[in-house]
Amino acid sequence: MQYVIIIAVVAVIILVLGVSVQMIASVSAWAIMLVCTLVSALMAVFFVVFLAKMLACKRKKGVFLRADFKDRGAFKKYKSAVYEIEGEEHFNIFPYDLKIFYKKDRLTELYLDKKGEVYDMMTRITIYAGVMLSAAMTALMAWVTVFYYNNR
């Protein structure tokens, strides 16, 4: 509520100074598009970092055991898939997804990183889709922002 009041006061001051409503709307729309572009770019960076980490992993065969809670430091606990690889239990790096994708006692191909965390099939699909979609969204939003800025 406080932000709405601040925005309203700033808008009234700008109108009193003689700036047109059309100019305020134009600059506001451009600023919103710029923020959306930056957010989608940060999302693309997030997925690219995970892709780079995943590509540095070793391929292993493992068996899904269960979904269990693991403390992730500053983050709250969340359920993560637990796999057995060569007699040791390893947690998936992303949260536990839909149960239908996990079959107990089935040998699956996994990627194991140096910290002992696992990238399973759902994690790989999420990372690949995240990279492609966020990169496409960033490119589209950047184009729209520049196109809008050049044609206003």
118 touches 110 (CB < 8 A): yes
Task: Quote the pLDDT of residue 74.
Answer: 63
Instruction: Name beta bridge partners: 61.
Output: 109
Q: Which two tokens stand for residue 62?
A: 């493992």
First to last CA, the chain: 31
pLDDT in tens, the chain (152 residues): 788 898 888 888 888 888 887 887 778 888 888 898 999 999 999 999 999 999 999 998 988 888 777 766 666 677 888 888 888 888 888 877 767 677 787 888 899 888 888 998 888 999 999 999 999 999 998 888 887 667 76
**Lookup result for tokens 């839909």:** 98
Tell me whether strands 78-85 and 58-70 are parallel, antiparallel or unpaired: antiparallel
Neighbours of 118 (CB within 10 A): 25
**Nearest Cα to 57, choosing from 106, 107, 123?**
123
Task: Quote the pLDDT of residue 100.
Answer: 66
DSSP assigned state of 108? E
To the question of pTM greater than 0.95 for the whole model, the response is no
